[in-house]
Structure 1
Amino acid sequence: MVAAATTSLPERAEAARNYDYRYAWIRDQCYAGHAAAAAGLDDLLDAAVAFVTARLLADGPHLAPAYTTGGGRVPEERMLPFLPGYPGHRSGWVTG
């Protein structure tokens, strides 16, 4: 499960906090597991638990906040020339 189909929308207009939502965030996997359990969706619960468990076993104390949907590391950020985007946002940082 990814956080959203969109990418890199700022938390607030003209704010510097900008996250890439194309990745699977550990926090969101945990929330999805709780919701799936409450709704009785065992397959979704099993998938969320399996994803987090695999990341914990592989990375232990070096657990990252987000991973690719296949469980890999999120690529490093890199700076691109300014690209117009979300109104009021002027970041050229991208991942991948």
Structure 2
Amino acid sequence: MKDKELMKKCESCDLNESEDLMDTCKSILNGVKDCKEDLGLSDDEVQTYLKMVENLKPKDVSKVLALALKIRESGKIKNPEIKNDASRLIRAIEMS
């Protein structure tokens, strides 16, 4: 599935019921600080993502999906945990 199609699908899904999905999003957001240089994120962007963890809402999943797609595309990120979380989120949305 192409990235644009995946983003559209994410925006149209009912994500309120998926606690696993929200936990995966939180894990990705918490891991951002470890790979901020590899993703080209500023300190302000990282802080915004970290604040999002505290009050994550289903409408924020599309933002986390965009981040997960960046993680998947980046060849610089070596942290297997965040890469696995990103892949898990992408697959979950593809299958929803």
Structure whose residues are more often strand by fraction? 1
Q: Same fold (TM over 0.5)?
A: no
Greater Rg by CA: 1
- Normalised by the length of structure 2, the TM-score is 0.34
TM-score by length of 1: 0.34
Identify, as 1 or 2, the structure richer in helix.
2
